[in-house]
Amino acid sequence: MATTLKPELEEKLSRLAERTHRTKEEALEEMLNQALAYNEWFEMKVKDGLAAIERGELVPDEQVLAWIEEQEQRERT
């Protein structure tokens, strides 16, 4: 598979490859693997969330807002 990158993106890729002592192809392959793994994880979590909704496993808005306020309080102290 071949692709064309915008010059500024190719320059960033070149700098990353140089800093990490890899070829541009190696750096790009690693980034693609990480992006694909993240997307697979994200899709699984969305499916899990939708299944939980179908089962009626919901958290009331008031409980979520109380939890957020609690977290903000902890950050301030």
In this prediction, residues 12-32 reach a mean pLDDT of 97
Determine if the pTM surpasses 0.85. Answer: no
Interhelix angle 7-19/24-54, nearest 10 degrees: 100
Q: Tell me the C-alpha distance between 31 and 12, whole Å.
A: 13
For the chain, the domains span 7-76
Query: Is the alpha carbon torsion for 59, 63, 69, 73 positive or negative?
Result: negative
For residue 77, name the pLDDT band (cuts at 50, 70, 90).
Answer: confident
The mean per-residue pLDDT over the stretch 18-45 comes to 97
Confidence of residue 1 (pLDDT cuts 50, 70, 90): confident
How does residue 54 score in pLDDT terms, banded at 50, 70 and 90?
A: very high
Rounded-to-integer distance, Cα 46 and Cα 52, Å: 10
